[in-house]
Amino acid sequence: MRRALTLAALGLCALAGCSSTTTGRASPSEQAGRPASSAPNSPAAEEVPGPGVPKVPSPLDATRLKQNPCESLTSAQITDLLGDNPRVKPEPHGAGGPGCGWFAQAQVAVVFPDINNLGLTSFYRAKDRIYRFFLALAPVDGYPAVAYGEDDNRASRGECDIAVGISDRETVVVSIRQSPAHQGEKDPCDSARDVAQKVLGNLRGGH
């Protein structure tokens, strides 16, 4: 029971921007925001993408889903991912940006970071300095993506946070935690990519 409560608290903090969690793991919203603390005062004036950061070929307009972040995934998609009746936690004014979390034995969160407008450049700048775990992933439907975190929690916790560039200045963050019964069956970052692919499809075509 305590473990389940800890996981639930972790998931809620992921969208609430908590400064810490009972597990000691920084939340996705907090992590997405950290590069901003070292960003220049006027990021809008900066050229993006920065050195070594892949360019987004076909920008997507995320306005609709930012206004209604729990529509990032359809009911059918959530049922397919988590089963029936997962707990839903909307955070339209989350500390790291508008987002939504869905919690069952496994957990999924989608956040649209609004800390700055440097897109994936913020995440690349935090590589090694803040994110000891940083892995460039194969593009998701043509959109550049990275997995990141203070630590690599894939094997130990079945967790992965990924950021996908939807324009040179915007990203969508997908965070997942696998259920204990299925940890080790699939790389959590592959699972996060699968979720991101669904979100991008919904961004492009609506529901």
Q: Return d(Cα 30, Cα 172) in angstroms, integer.
A: 14
Split at pLDDT 50, 70, 90, the class of 46 is confident
Task: Please compute the mean of the pLDDT values over residues 70-80 and round it to a whole number.
Answer: 97
Please answer whether residues 129 and 123 qualify as being in contact, where contact means their C-beta atoms are separated by less than 8 angstroms.
no
Task: Please compute the mean of the pLDDT values over residues 166-190 and round it to a whole number.
Answer: 95
45-49, 81-85, 148-152: least confident range: 45-49
Sign of torsion, CA 96 192 52 25? positive
Q: Return d(Cα 193, Cα 164) in angstroms, integer.
A: 9
Q: Return d(Cα 24, Cα 5) in angstroms, integer.
A: 15
Share of the chain above pLDDT 90, in %: 71
Q: Return d(Cα 32, Cα 73) in angstroms, integer.
A: 20
Domain ranges of the chain: 2-205
Split at pLDDT 50, 70, 90, the class of 52 is very high
Bridge partners of residue 136, in order along the sequence: 146
User: What is the DSSP annotation of 41-93?
Assistant: S-GGGS-SS-TTPPPPSS----HHHHHSGGGSS-HHHHHHHH-SS-EEEEETT
Look over the chain and give the mean of its residue pLDDT values, rounded to a whole number. 83
Split at pLDDT 50, 70, 90, the class of 43 is low
DSSP 8-state code for residue 131: B
Instruction: Say whether pLDDT at 8 is over 60.
Output: no
Task: Please compute the mean of the pLDDT values over residues 183-207 and round it to a whole number.
Answer: 93
pLDDT higher at 26 or 141:
141
